[in-house]
Chain A
Amino acid sequence: MNFFHNSNIFIWVEKLIAFINSIFFAVLLAALSFALIFSPPDYLQGDSVRIMYVHVPAAWISLASFTCIALLSILNFIFKIKNFTLVAKSIAPIGFVFTCIAIVTGSIWGQPTWGTFWAWDARITSMVLLGIFYFVFIATYKLISKEETANKVASIVAILGLINIPIIKYSVEWWSTLHQPASIKIAGSSTIHSSMLMPLLLMFFTLLLYCALIFLMKYKTEIIRIKKKNLYRKI
């Protein structure tokens, strides 16, 4: 039995959708309780720091999604695996939505923290650029009807957009910006207290579950679309 066969993947997709649906609201309720009630206010920013619990996970997801899309595009160029295109195509709208959420919530957070909703700061500008790359990637599939050409153009857009990812990450170190440097580091010690880190990770996990749910539904749609297109070839 080949696990990676579309029909086997399809069965697993259905099971995973049902599983995530069954646990999602309990996890969301816990995450919201910690983010809005149990976590402490910041000594400097007060309660406005709670915006972090949606802003930071949204930004992480948008960056991770684009990195995934770009890596899948590179692998697709080399190995020509059709499933990679389907996965990248299914991830893109999620990344775009979370980029918009990160920009909007960041802008709302900017007003009480910096005194302005918007500044052409290096971090914000590079995030807007990421949103444009997502938009072009998605629009490619809508505007180019020939699937093979659309795949190639979208892959080039994703690979070009990959250059922007380290720029976003290090913009706060390379330039003098309004945006604060990262408080959470994968390598090295984080400067965030555990009473805030825990709700942040819980909210990140909740939004990841949501992304998985959307991704699986989009992936299922893509499989059905292909099956529908090839229906008459089977007869």
Chain B
Amino acid sequence: MINSLIFMNGYGIFVWSSFAITFLICAIFYFKTRKTLKKYEKEFVEEIEALSAEKKKIVLENSKIASKVLTSNNKTI
């Protein structure tokens, strides 16, 4: 059973390499996309945190997205 799953009557090398390449590319692409997203989130939060208390309050009142990113980022910290 295991042998036939691995070798697939001589086609195993083609089948397994196709699946491996597909999921390897997908995994790399996923982690790269996630890394970029986290980087932008972090930079955005740092820019908000660098503002004075008064300016920060204005930004958070005017932008739901800014407050959402700030909250979720604080949760992960």
Instruction: Give the interface of A toward B (CB within 8 A).
Output: 6-7, 10-11, 14, 32, 35-37, 41, 46-48, 50-51, 54-55, 58, 93, 97, 100-101, 104-105, 108-109, 111-112, 210, 213-214, 217-218, 220-221, 223-225, 227-228, 231, 234-235
Give the distance in Å from the alpha carbon of A51 to the alpha carbon of B18 in the complex. Answer: 6
Closest partner residue, chain A, to B43 (CB atom): A228
Residues of B within 8 A of A (CB): 5, 8-12, 14-15, 17-19, 21-22, 25-26, 29-30, 33-34, 36-37, 40-41, 43-44, 47-48, 51, 55, 58-59, 62-66, 68-69, 72
B22 A105 Cβ-Cβ under 8 A: yes
Cα-based distance from A62 to B50 in the complex (angstroms): 42
Name the distance in Å between A158's Cβ and chain B's nearest Cβ: 21
Q: What is the CA–CA distance of A112 and B13 in the complex, to the nearest angstrom? A: 10
Q: Quote the shortest CB–CB distance from B29 to chain A (angstroms).
A: 5
Cβ–Cβ < 8 Å partners of A105 in chain B:
18, 21-22
| A47→B34 contact, CB < 8 A | no
For the residues of B in contact with A, the DSSP-based class is: helix
Contacts of A100 in B (CB 8 A): 25
Contact (A234, B14) CB under 8 Å given A54-B22, A213-B30: no
Residue in A32, A54, A97, A218 whose CB lies within 8 Å of B18: A54
In contact, B22 and A112 (Cβ under 8 angstroms) = no
- B11 x A235 contact (CB < 8 A): no
Provide a sorted-by-A list of 30 A–B residue pairs whose CB atoms are within 8 angstroms. A6-B65, A10-B64, A11-B68, A14-B72, A36-B19, A37-B5, A46-B9, A47-B8, A48-B8, A48-B15, A50-B11, A50-B15, A51-B18, A55-B18, A93-B29, A93-B33, A100-B25, A101-B21, A104-B18, A105-B18, A108-B21, A109-B18, A111-B14, A221-B33, A223-B65, A224-B37, A224-B44, A227-B65, A228-B40, A231-B66
